[in-house]
Amino acid sequence: MCSPGEAAPGPAPAGDLPPEWETDDERMAFLFSAFKQSREVNSTEWDSKMAFWVGLVLARGRRRGAVRTCLRELQNGFERRGSVPLGLGTVLRELLRRGKLQRESDFMASVDSSWISWGVGVFILKPLKWTLSSVLGDSKIPEEEEVLIYVELLQEKAEEVYRLYQNSALSSHPVVALSELRSLCAGLCPDERTFYLLLLQLQKEKRVTILEQNGEKIVKFARGLHAKVSPMNDVDIGVYQLMQSEQLLSQKVESLSQEAEKCKEDARSACRAGKKQLALRCLKAKRRTERRIGELHSKLDAVQGILDRIYASQTDQMV
């Protein structure tokens, strides 16, 4: 399907269409007609029609900011007075030939995407008829719902993901949880499928590598805008686990602090009500909780000290 789980976009707004769209019925009738089987019949008309639609298709993708499209979505987008352009399939085939579009199935096949969980509905294994395009070339017209990718837009958005990471707090270490990166990119990636495509593009460029560790996917970024990512090693995984421990310890300290404060308030309430035994129990619980907080603080300080030394050594290496 072209856009699984999403409503198909409607027709393009009038402001995004050329002036003749509403004013020149004769010109639009020509543009909405099918292409001749051979360009040689009338190369001038063929080239004129192709240039019109190529510009419009690429502009629509950039305006929407969506890296994915399909023939049906474009037909709906360019519907005019109940008619759809009959030559859009030929236009898409030409864009595939020029490398402006790429079949999503071919793109995924070109990247080592073994980290993708195929069974969760993010991607589906491509049917055999899609894989044939890799062997036969892009000579066939795409099917109505076959997903196509705007190549340049995908590359630009992948670059945005990389810069977004570089300018965030997550960049203090090159390894991050996939879930954290997804949250960081929520404004840039409208859906999970687009997010995975952008990561695949970065992986293709050797700027990230992805590993599944204890059921969780973790991402390692290259250090520096023009650097290539190195393979994930035991040190990367160890540092990532330390970072996770730091986060869990901080959350536990926060939770226990709230618990200690509650014990304190309960003790005050019990005192005001004349319930001395209950007040003493609450104070004892508060002291136990504070001792536990102190123990966790010691562990947290130790973990943070190790991470600080690691970050300092990495900074020295970069310098």
122 or 25: whose pLDDT is higher?
25
Listed by start position, the domains of the chain span 25-98, 151-221, 234-317
pLDDT at 53: 95
4 or 71: whose pLDDT is higher?
71
Confidence label for 233 from pLDDT (cuts 50, 70 and 90)? confident
pLDDT at 314: 59
CATH of span 234-317: 1.10.287
pLDDT at 116: 59
Closest CA to 198 of 298, 255, 253, 122: 122
**Per-residue model confidence as pLDDT tens digits over 147-164:** 999 999 999 999 999 999
Percent of the chain with pLDDT over 90: 34
User: In the predicted model, is pLDDT for residue 4 greater than 60?
Assistant: no
C-alpha–C-alpha distance, residues 137 and 176, integer Å:
38
pLDDT at 138: 56
pTM equals 0.75
DSSP letter for 80, please: B
Average of pLDDT values for 27-42? 88
pLDDT at 89: 93
Tokens encoding 130: 């899609």
C-alpha–C-alpha distance, residues 88 and 73, integer Å:
11
DSSP letter for 173, please: S
The single residue listed with the structure tokens 């504070």 is: 290
Q: What is the mean pLDDT of the chain?
A: 82
C-alpha–C-alpha distance, residues 113 and 196, integer Å:
10
Question: Are 72 and 144 within 8 A, CB to CB?
Answer: yes
User: In the predicted model, is pLDDT for residue 90 greater than 90?
Assistant: yes
pLDDT at 128: 40
**Per-residue model confidence as pLDDT tens digits over 209-218:** 888 777 778 8
185 or 125: whose pLDDT is higher?
185
The number of residues in the chain equals: 319
pLDDT at 137: 52
CATH fold of 151-221: Arc Repressor Mutant, subunit A (1.10.10)
Residue type, 233: N
CA angle 29, 76, 186 (to 5 degrees): 140
Average of pLDDT values for 226-241? 80
Confidence label for 175 from pLDDT (cuts 50, 70 and 90)? confident
Average of pLDDT values for 110-138? 51
126 or 272: whose pLDDT is higher?
272
